[in-house]
Amino acid sequence: MKIPVELRRCQAHRCSIHFIPKVPWQRYCSKACKHRAWYRRRYGRSPRYGTRYGTCPHGHDRSPENVYYRPDGSYSCRACNREKMAIKYRKDPVFRERRKNDERLRRLRLREAAA
């Protein structure tokens, strides 16, 4: 396939989109590609990390027991989430009261169901 002269290929890593530049010095097809290229130049890798790594960025083991899969298909580390919620529980009084009230209601429903 012959590419027209006015089209330019995006210079971001793994982007094969051809686009018409709005200005002569435009190198990327979108802001996302520009950011991805900037991140790759600065840190030397993609901003996402995949399942091929054995640990999360904070060093926790990425085993099936420690990974939580969300309904949209993304995943997170259970240990990181547990630590984050513990910090939030200590620092945020509104969050703490809401959690306490939710636990009271849950126990009340369990007592009513057992009776």
Task: State both tokens at 8.
Answer: 């330019």
Per-residue b or e along 71-100, where b marks 16 or more CB atoms closer than 10 Å to that residue's CB: eeeeeebebbeeeeeeeeeeeeeeeeeeee
Low-confidence ranges of the chain (pLDDT < 50): 49-51
Query: Over the stretch 11-39, which tens digit does the pLDDT of each residue have?
Result: 887 788 888 888 888 888 888 888 888 77
pLDDT of residue 82: 93
Cα(68)–Cα(62) distance, rounded to whole angstroms? 10
